[in-house]
Amino acid sequence: MNLPLVLCLLAAAYLIGSIPTALWVGRRFFGIDIREHGSGNSGATNTFRVLGKKPGSAVMAFDVFKGWAATSLASVMVSQGAIRPDQLLYFQLACGVLAVLGHIFPIYAGFRGGKGVATLLGMMLAIAPGTVGICLLIFLLVLFISRYVSLSSMTAGVAFALLQLLPPFRPDNSLLLVFGFVLAGLLIYTHRANIGRLRAGTESRVPLFGRK
């Protein structure tokens, strides 16, 4: 193992995840700190709520790209001979988790970020694109019907875990299966406040068909 290269790329994964897309978009184009409005999170969901669908879509797309790009650094480790091919999944998960942590605790923004759902989506898209593709369709369907990003995210996360139990989507490495259920549990845990608002009928809907 080329430890110096591995450590540099792991650090790069965190720094990529730390790019505070919502914060920079809010400041550059709207002159506001997105963390001082709406839910206070610096993520795509709050951008949808506060700034509208176009900025929200742009932030979501880039946050997904962050997760995908950071996770793909593991393939660079393999191509450069820094790790063995059979170690790829382990370092994909490591790079992806670091990117998500970077989004939640961004070094460029005082460690105040978002919940990391879009970055997590990009991470899993790099690891299991087929399964994630179906989960993305589920996410969009629930979002179209309900306009709740939180509900859509939790539903897609649970769907990812359950889909992996089916033979067509069962991963070769059982670690990914375990990670899928841990991921679903974490999504539900981090959205516990949203669940309370959903039950109370006070959760904000995103403006899919508004003018913004």
What secondary structure does DSSP assign to 174-200, as a single string?
HHHHHHHHHHHHHHHHHTHHHHHHHHH
pTM of full prediction above 0.95: no
CA–CA separation, 138 vs 29, rounded Å? 31
CA distances from 49 to 96, 201, 210 (A): 26, 16, 11
Buried b vs exposed e over 148-165: b needs ≥16 C-beta within 10 Å? bbbbbbbbbbbbbbebbe
Residue 85's SS3 state is helix
Would the pLDDT of 46 be above 90? no
For 2-37, write each residue's pLDDT tens digit: 899 999 999 999 999 999 999 999 999 999 999 999
CA–CA separation, 124 vs 61, rounded Å? 14
For 90-142, write each residue's pLDDT tens digit: 999 999 999 999 999 999 988 988 888 889 889 999 999 999 999 999 988 99
DSSP H/E element including 157:
helix 149-163
- Cα diameter, the chain: 53
Q: So what's the pLDDT on residue 117?
A: 84
Residue with tokens 């670091």: 98
In this structure, the number of other CB atoms found within 10 A of the CB of residue 141 comes to 13
